[in-house]
Amino acid sequence: MSTTTDLPLPTSHLPPPTFHYPVLIIGGGQAGLSMSYCLKQRGIDHLIFEKNRIGEAWRSQRWDTFCLVTPNWQCDLPGFPYPGSDPNGFMKKDEIVGYLESYANSFQPPVREGVSVSRLNRHPSGKFEVLTSIGEFTADQVVIATGGYQISALPRMAERLPKTLVQMHSSLYKSPDSIPPGEVLVVGSGQSGCQIAEDLHLAGRKVHLAVGGAPRTARRYRGKDVVDWLHDMGYYSKPVHEHPLKERVRAKANHYVTGRDGGRDIDLRRFALEGMQLYGRLKTIEDNVMDFADDLPQNLDNADKVAESIKDTIDKFILTNQVEAPTESRYTPLWQPDPGPRQLDLAHSNITTVIWCMGFSTDYRWIELPLFDGKGYPAHQRGVTTIPGIYFLGLPWQYTWGSGRFSGVKQDALFLADNIEARHTAPPTPVAQKLNELALGNQPVTQAFSLWVSRAFCPCLQ
């Protein structure tokens, strides 16, 4: 029986790689930059591929008045905490881009902008191949830092709407002035849906909002921002395996709230009192008639219950730890929906635009490696995959609630950098070890091993 079954078989038809790096990073957002900083601190040579520009999603996939929903002090990338003068404020879109650009300028990462990656697979030699728009590269290790939001989610029922309507995903919305005059239907009440509905509502547009099951939170409670309380209670650093839902929490919607104008609650009931038309979840579209579920009261009540349960947790924390904090009265619903309309006839409405706020999905079709579970999610433990040398960074709830945010990507990047460094300085691979032993005369030359060496390094013998 051969003793060399662990050796990769050589292939003469594959040319030797032109470019090789110890580590390649795919994605130049906050996750990719954080990874680069940590590797640079360790002296590990690497290269970042960014399809567009650094922080492109913040530049081109956010509306004009977009701002963070977490306070600025939570922006804490490796070696670069928030440098501004308003730690309790909420950076606007252009300020977020400026923060990332300043971060990049602070350590000059080796990034290639405008370079797309179309394939990641394993070379027969054991190294990883990355096919890009500027050529083929190989690497000993690869970090996939593209985040969890690649493909705009649009339901197939959108195809049933009349061509006269303007339709767009939330990532394409810019401002009330950028869409045609008339009323607007917003489908989805997660963070984007509620904030876009508010943006249009404040501009005086008539808004129709299909409300789903997303939870909400208060902006402030008992003298502090709720984010500050959650931070003090350790919620942002709690590992996913300690969450009651375990990994299932990754599929849950974020709580809606806003940092606009210094930060405030988003209360859909108040919007309804001010003229916004609320509906339940959109079910079907038939003959230009939109049919909604009768779950609007339930959805509003559940969102309020979540907000109040967070306050209960804060109250308990204050009491247990004897924290001095002012008391505060609890929320009282301002409006209750009546049976109301469950259908919307587009032919007899003034709606000219539909904005789909249905979130995003991932696109890993370019990864030709057995990395994924039955639902297409990367199989990993804290970003370390089942294939040694392949890592993910920047996924929502990758390890903690903060993993996909400015607040938690640092600790994930540091953890992965330790793993990468350990492999980078690891003992030689079995192939290199056998060659070294052969050169020193400590390795018996088997026929199979001799044949492999001749084929691998003497193409003329193929």
Q: What is the arithmetic mean of pLDDT over 146-162?
A: 89
| pLDDT at position 427 | 56
pLDDT at residue 18, as a whole number: 53
pLDDT of residue 144: 98
Q: Among 341, 260, 252, 258, which residue's Cα sits nearest to residue 293?
A: 341
Q: What is the per-residue pLDDT for 436?
A: 40
Q: What are the phi and psi torsion angles at 352 (to 5°)?
A: -115, -15
Q: What pLDDT score does 286 carry?
A: 92
Q: What is the mean pLDDT of residues 114-127?
A: 94
Handedness of CA 386, 387, 393, 394 (dihedral sign): negative
In terms of C-beta density within 10 A (0-12 exposed, 13-18 middle, 19 or more buried), how is residue 84 classed? middle
> Residue range 192-196: average pLDDT?
97
Residue 364's contacts (CB-CB under 8 Å, 6 or more residues apart) are 371, 372, 376, 378
At CA 212, angle to CA 209 and CA 218, rounded to 5? 90
Whether residue 347 contacts residue 325, with contact meaning beta carbons closer than 8 Å, is answered with: no
Predicted pLDDT of residue 26: 98
- Identify the DSSP state of 461: G
Rounded CA-CA distance 195/213 in Å is 15
- Give pLDDT tens digits for 323-369: 999 999 999 999 999 866 689 999 889 999 999 999 888 899 999 99
448 falls in which pLDDT band (50, 70, 90)?
very low
Q: Reply yes or no on whether the pLDDT at 11 is more than 90.
A: no
Residue 308, CB-side half-sphere exposure with 13 Å CA sphere? 11
Q: Name 274's bridge partners.
A: none
Lowest mean pLDDT among 124-128, 319-323, 347-351, 453-457: 453-457
pLDDT above 80 (res 458): no
- Helix and strand tally (H, E) in the chain? 10, 23
Please tell me what DSSP assigns to residue 121.
E
Residue 91: the pLDDT is: 97
377 vs 120, residue with greater confidence: 120
Mean pLDDT score, 450-454:
44
Q: What percent of the chain has a predicted confidence (pLDDT) above 90?
A: 75
In degrees and rounded to multiples of 5, residue 200 shows phi and psi of -70, -40
Burial grade of 165 (CB within 10 A; 0-12, 13-18, 19 or more): middle
**What pLDDT, on the 0 to 100 scale, is given for residue 338?**
85
Range of weakest confidence among 14-18, 54-58, 312-316: 14-18
Residue 245: pLDDT band by 50, 70, 90 thresholds? confident
> What is the C-alpha separation between 164 and 216, in angstroms, rounded?
34
Tokens in use for 260? 């606009």
Confidence of residue 30 (pLDDT cuts 50, 70, 90): very high
**Which residues are registered as beta bridge partners of 144?**
26, 392
> Per-residue confidence at 124, pLDDT binned at 50, 70, 90?
confident
Burial of 253 (0-12, 13-18, 19+ CB in 10 A): middle
- DSSP annotation of 331 reads P
Q: Return the pLDDT at 453.
A: 42
Residue 99 has pLDDT above 90, yes or no: yes
Whether the CB-CB separation of 383 and 398 falls below 8 Å is answered with yes
What phi and psi values does residue 224 have, to the nearest 5 degrees?
-140, 160
pLDDT tens by residue, 276-308:
999 999 999 998 999 999 999 999 999 999 999
Average pLDDT over residues 73-97: 96
Write out the two tokens for 305. 């219950």
Lowest mean pLDDT among 118-132, 174-188, 220-234, 246-260: 246-260
Query: Does 46 score more than 70 pLDDT?
Result: yes
Structure tokens at 270: 């108040």
Mean pLDDT of 369-392: 94
Q: What is the pLDDT of residue 426?
A: 62
Coil, strand or helix at 454:
helix
Interatomic CA distance for residues 58 and 341, integer angstroms: 37
Ordered domains of the chain (ranges, CATH): 19-150+362-424 (3.50.50.60), 153-360 (3.50.50.60), 434-461 (no CATH)
Residues 241, 244: Cα–Cα separation, whole Å: 8
9: confidence class by pLDDT, cuts 50, 70, 90:
very low
Q: What is the pLDDT of residues 410-438, one digit of tens each?
A: 999 999 999 999 999 765 445 444 444 44
Residue 149's closest CA among 29, 24, 282? 29
Rounded Cα distance, 332 and 1, in Å: 77
What pairs with residue 21 in β-bridges? Answer: 139
Give the rounded percent of residues in the chain with a pLDDT score beyond 70: 87
The mean predicted confidence, pLDDT, of the chain is 88
Per-residue pLDDT tens over the stretch 196-234: 999 999 999 999 999 999 999 999 999 999 999 999 999
Judged by average pLDDT, the poorest of 122-126, 146-150, 197-201 is 146-150
Q: pLDDT at residue 450 above 70?
A: no
User: From CA 200, how far away is CA 6, in angstroms rounded?
Assistant: 62
Is pLDDT above 70 for 12? no
Q: What is the pLDDT of residue 250?
A: 80
Angle (deg, nearest 10), helices 430-439 and 447-457: 100
- Distance (Å, whole) CA 203 – CA 401: 33
| pTM of the complete model | 0.86
Instruction: Tell me which amino acid residue 165 is.
Output: L
Residue 254, number of CB atoms within 10 A of its CB:
18
Q: Which of 56, 52, 47 is nearest to 26 (CA)?
A: 47
Given a cut of 60, is residue 446 above it in pLDDT? no
Q: DSSP character for 459? A: G
Block residue for tokens 């502090």:
224
